[in-house]
Structure 1
Amino acid sequence: MGASTSSPARTGLLQSLANIRHGERAAVAVAALFFFCVLTALMLLRPVRDALGMSQGMDQVRWLFVGTALVTLAVNPAFGWLAARLRRFPLLAATYGFFAVGLATFWALLQFAPGAVGERSGQVFYVWFSVFNLFATMVFWALLAERFDADQGKRLFAPISVGGTLGAIFGPWLTSRLAEVVGTPALLLVAGAFVLAALALGGWLLRLLPDRKAASMRERDGPVGGSAWAGLRAVVRSPYLSGIAGYVLLMTVMATFIYFTRLQMVADVAGDTDARAAVMGRIDMWTQIAVLVLQVTVTGRLIQRFGLGIALALLPVATAVGFIGLAAYGSFVVLVVLEAGNRAMQRGITRPAREALFTVLGREDTYKAKAAIDTFVYRSGDVLGAQVEGLLGRLGFALGGLVGVVVPLAFAWTALGLWLGRAHARRAAPEAAPDASPSLPPPAAPPRRTRGIAAPSQDFP
Structure 2
Amino acid sequence: MLYFFCLLTGYYLLRPVREAMGASRDAATVFPQWMIDWFAIRGIALEEFMLQALFTGTFVIMLLLQPVYGALVSRYPRRVFLPVVYGFFIACLVAFYFAFRAELPGRGMVFFIWLTVFNLFAVAVFWSFMADVFNNDEAKRVYGYIGAGGTLGAMIGPTLTRLLVERIGIANLLLVSALLLSLCIVCILRLRIWAVQRERERGRKSGEVPMGGQVLAGLKLIAQEPLLRALAMLTFFGVGVGTLLYNEQAAIVKKFYDTPEARTAFFSSIDLAVNGLTLTVQVLLTRFLLSRYGIGPVLLIPAMAILVGFCALAASPFPMLVAVMQVVTRASEFSLAKPARETIYTRVGREWRYKAATAIDTVIHRGGDVTFAWVHKALSAAGSSMVFLAGVGVAVGMTFGAWRVIRAQRTLPDNADAAEETRR
TM-score normalised according to structure 1 size: 0.82
Give 1:49-448 correspondences, 5 Å limit.
49-55=18-24, 56=27, 57=47, 59-111=49-101, 113-114=102-103, 117-118=104-105, 120-210=106-196, 219-394=206-381, 396=382, 398-429=383-414, 431=416
Over 3 Å counting, the alpha-carbon distance change for 1:328 and 1:199 in structure 2 is same
Residue 414 of structure 2: SS of its match in structure 1? helix
Superposed displacement of residue 404, structure 1: 2.8
- Write the distance in 1 (CA, Å) between the matches of 2:340 and 2:304: 16
- Alignment partners' CA distance in 1, 2:332 and 2:203: 39
| CA deviation vs aligned residue, 1:422-449 (integer Å, no higher than 9, x gap) | 3323303364xxxxxxxxxxxxxxxxxx
Structure 2 equivalent of residue 35 of structure 1: 4
- With structure 2 as the length reference, what TM-score do the two structures score? 0.89
Shift of 1:174: 1.1
Q: Is it true that 1:48 corresponds to 2:53 in the alignment?
A: no
Secondary structure at the residue paired with 1:209?
helix
Which amino acid counterpart does residue 402 of structure 1 have in structure 2? V
CA distance in 1, matches of 2:207, 2:345: 19
Secondary structure of the structure 2 residue equivalent to 1:428: coil
Deviations 1:360-403 (A, max 9, x none): 22111210111111101000000111111111124x2x232223
SS in 1 for 2:208: coil
Partner of 1:442: none
3-state SS of the aligned residue for 2:214?
Answer: coil
1:150–1:107 CA distance, 2 compared to 1 (3 A)? same
Q: Number of aligned pairs? A: 399
| Equivalent residue, structure 1, for 2:42 | none
**Partners of 1:210 and 1:101 in 2: how far apart?**
28
Distance 1:381 1:68, change over 3 A: same
For the 8 Å contact 2:144–2:339, the answer to whether it is kept is yes
Structure 1's 58 and 255: CA in aligned 2 closer, same or farther, altered over 3 A? farther
Residue in 2 aligned with 1:15? none
Distance in 1 separating the partners of 2:303 and 2:390: 13
- C-alpha distance in 2 between matches for 1:367 and 1:171: 27
* Counterparts of 2:413 and 2:161, CA distance in 1: 42
Structure 2: runs of 5 or more not aligned: 28-46
Displacement of 1:297: 1.0
Native 8 Å contact 2:221 2:352 kept in 1: yes
Q: Give deviations 1:146-192, integer Å, cap 9, x for gaps.
A: 33222222222111100100000010111122222222111000000
Structure 1 residue 58 displacement after superposition: 5.2
AA of the residue aligned to 1:109: A
**Stretches of structure 1 lacking an aligned partner (at least 5 in a row):** 1-31, 432-449, 455-461
Please state whether the residue corresponding to 2:49 is helix, strand or coil: helix
Distance in 1 (alpha carbons) for counterparts of 2:415 and 2:245: 40
Preserved CA contact (<8 Å) 1:96 1:195: yes
* Identity percentage of aligned residues: 34
User: Contact between 1:64 and 1:123, CA under 8 Å: does it hold in 2?
Assistant: yes
Contact conserved, 1:161 with 1:352, CA < 8 A, in 2? yes
Give how far 1:211 is off. 6.5
What letter corresponds to residue 189 of structure 2 in structure 1?
Answer: G
SS in 2 for 1:228: coil
Query: Which whole-Å CA distance do the structure 1 matches of 2:213 and 2:334 have between them?
Result: 32
Query: Are residues 392 and 90 of structure 1, via their aligned partners in 2, closer, same or farther at CA, if it must alter by over 3 Å?
Result: same
Deviation at 1:60, TM superposition (A): 1.4
